[in-house]
């Protein structure tokens, strides 16, 4: 301590803060006490009858001496006892991490793993079932092999004419290796597959279901295709900007049946006020896009399927959010739109679509991460004559 530095000053401050928080607690560490940290934590779910906040409780001992304990209301309302338990485990883990560095600043190296005891049934269930862990690891390895295979295929096929996203990212690997390592490219592929496939597929199924229930709309979409694309060739990507009515059909589908009806759960990073509500930092935020899209106060006849509402340039700002909004909104919105519009255009151009019976297709929503139909669409189709000619 002859030449104190800022880290010594920090350590001294930490000791003072710690002692200040525990005056007269009789903290005593016998010389022969083992320097092993143990912690016990629990939570009391929805302990407060007014606010439904739960309580975190923990107790930490170093050897046989208690060194830290706390009972504190959780800042965020937990929706289940399991969630409240996870929050208390998280808070206790932070305390343990802090205590470890505190001991280090006193010159005590705590190299052994710290032991945390809790009775979170959800975590215990997962931990006690090695099958879960094994199958997750197996699945991860399978995905890694698949994604690495796709990257290697592109890497070894540099001459290939087709432009692909993996190819574009590999091209950047030379100039920005740290931002485009194979690992990061794999992560991007997996995000795109997870976020981009089901969302587009369910939207297409909802759109076709709406169309067979509204044959006049279907007829109008086909007339638009015949007018702008004709019957001598297949519709292609450059035709999309001309197909305004088809675009309105997809937009109206996303309004009535947004693939992510509650968007993606977010957590507020700061205290804020929304309308008359104070939203504390760390609150889980779910945006009910489904309800916003059917709000009578902002939409005319909101439950009807009327693609025409978007034809007059209906301004969807702030009330139409199937891709979210702001900085965290869907980065694949443009692609997602095209991925739905183009195949739908092809299906309408090439086939006649009708319901399997007089009865309307059931439009109830099922349960899933992306909102599926409760009953999968069943419809009949017949190839249009002129399209058979193109194929031949």
Q: CB 263 → ligand HEM: shortest distance, Å?
A: 4
Q: CB 190 → ligand HEM: shortest distance, Å?
A: 10
Residue 259 burial class via C-beta count within 10 angstroms: exposed 0-12, middle 13-18, buried 19 and up:
buried
Q: Nearest-5° angle of CA 76, CA 328, CA 368? A: 70
Output 179 or 386, the one with its CB closest to ligand HEM.
Answer: 179
Q: Residue 254: helix, strand or coil by DSSP?
A: helix
Q: CB 191 → ligand HEM: shortest distance, Å?
A: 4
Residue 216 burial class via C-beta count within 10 angstroms: exposed 0-12, middle 13-18, buried 19 and up:
exposed
Output 84 or 208, the one with its CB closest to ligand HEM.
Answer: 208
Q: CB 69 → ligand HEM: shortest distance, Å?
A: 38
Output 64 or 197, the one with its CB closest to ligand HEM.
Answer: 197
How far is 331 from 174, CA to CA, in rounded Å? 24
Q: CB 370 → ligand HEM: shortest distance, Å?
A: 8
Q: Residue 326: helix, strand or coil by DSSP?
A: helix
Nearest to 189 by CA among 156, 160, 213, 166: 166
Output 58 or 290, the one with its CB closest to ligand HEM.
Answer: 290
Q: CB 195 → ligand HEM: shortest distance, Å?
A: 3
Q: CB 247 → ligand HEM: shortest distance, Å?
A: 13
Output 339 or 350, the one with its CB closest to ligand HEM.
Answer: 339
- Report residue 225: phi and psi, to 5°: -65, -45
Q: Nearest-5° angle of CA 253, CA 257, CA 262? A: 135
How far is 9 from 296, CA to CA, in rounded Å? 62
Output 99 or 344, the one with its CB closest to ligand HEM.
Answer: 344
Write out the two tokens for 254: 């996303």
Output 123 or 170, the one with its CB closest to ligand HEM.
Answer: 170
Reported in sequence order, the residue ranges of the chain that DSSP labels E, i.e. its strands, are 37-44, 55-62, 65-73, 115-117, 266-267, 272-274, 277-279, 284-285, 351-355, 379-383
Which bin fits 268, alpha (ψ -120 to 50), beta or left (φ > 0)? beta
Q: Any known ligand binding at 330?
A: yes
The long-range contacts involving 310-317, CB below 8 angstroms and separated by at least 24 positions, are 310/247, 310/248, 310/251, 310/252, 311/244, 311/245, 311/248, 316/251, 316/255
DSSP states of 262-283 as a string? T---EE-SS-EEETTEEE-TT-
Q: Where do contacts with ligand HEM occur on this chain (CB under 6 A)?
A: 191-192, 195-196, 199-200, 203, 259-260, 263-264, 266, 322-324, 328-332, 335-336, 339-340
Output 212 or 330, the one with its CB closest to ligand HEM.
Answer: 330
Alpha-carbon torsion, ordered 356, 359, 365, 366, to 10 deg? -60
Q: CB 90 → ligand HEM: shortest distance, Å?
A: 21
Q: Residue 145: helix, strand or coil by DSSP?
A: helix
DSSP states of 213-251 as a string? H-HHHHHHHHHHHHHHT-SSS---GGGGGG-HHHHHHHH
Output 92 or 203, the one with its CB closest to ligand HEM.
Answer: 203
Q: CB 372 → ligand HEM: shortest distance, Å?
A: 13
Going by the annotation, the residues of the binding site for heme are 330
Going by the annotation, the residues of the binding site are 330
């Amino acid at each position: 301590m002859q030449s104190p530095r800022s880290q010594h000053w920090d350590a001294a401050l930490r000791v003072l803060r710690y002692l200040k928080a525990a005056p007269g607690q009789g903290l005593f560490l016998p010389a022969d006490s083992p320097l092993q940290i143990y912690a016990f934590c629990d939570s009391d779910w929805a302990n407060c009858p007014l606010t439904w906040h739960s309580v975190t409780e923990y107790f930490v001992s170093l050897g046989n001496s208690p060194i830290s304990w706390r009972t504190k209301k959780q800042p965020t309302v937990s929706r289940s006892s399991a969630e409240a338990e996870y929050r208390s485990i998280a808070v206790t883990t932070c305390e343990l991490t802090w205590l470890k560095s505190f001991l280090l600043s006193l010159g005590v190296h705590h190299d052994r793993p710290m032991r945390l005891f809790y009775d979170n049934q959800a975590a215990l269930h997962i931990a006690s079932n090695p099958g879960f862990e094994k199958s997750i690891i197996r699945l991860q390895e399978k995905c890694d092999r698949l994604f690495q295979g796709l990257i290697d295929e592109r890497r070894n096929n540099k001459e290939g004419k087709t432009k692909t996203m993996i190819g574009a990212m590999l091209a950047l690997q030379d100039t920005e290796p740290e931002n485009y390592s194979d690992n990061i490219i794999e992560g991007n592929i997996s995000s795109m597959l997870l976020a981009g496939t089901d969302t587009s597929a369910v939207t297409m199924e909802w759109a076709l279901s709406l169309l067979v229930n509204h044959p006049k709309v279907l007829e109008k979409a086909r007339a638009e295709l015949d007018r702008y694309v004709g019957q001598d060739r297949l519709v292609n990507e450059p035709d999309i900007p001309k197909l305004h009515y088809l675009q309105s059909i997809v937009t109206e589908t996303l309004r009535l049946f947004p693939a992510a009806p509650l968007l993606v759960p977010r957590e507020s990073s700061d205290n804020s006020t929304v309308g008359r509500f104070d939203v504390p930092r760390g609150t889980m935020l779910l945006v009910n896009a489904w309800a916003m899209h059917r709000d009578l106060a902002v939409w005319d006849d909101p439950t009807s399927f009327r693609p025409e509402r978007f034809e007059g340039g209906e301004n969807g700002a702030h009330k139409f959010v199937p891709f979210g909004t702001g900085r965290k909104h869907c980065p694949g919105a443009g692609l997602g739109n095209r991925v739905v519009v183009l195949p739908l255009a092809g299906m309408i151009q090439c086939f006649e679509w009708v319901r399997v019976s007089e009865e309307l297709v059931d439009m109830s929503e099922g349960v899933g991460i992306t909102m599926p139909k409760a009953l999968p669409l069943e419809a009949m189709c017949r190839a249009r004559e002129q399209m058979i000619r193109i194929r031949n």
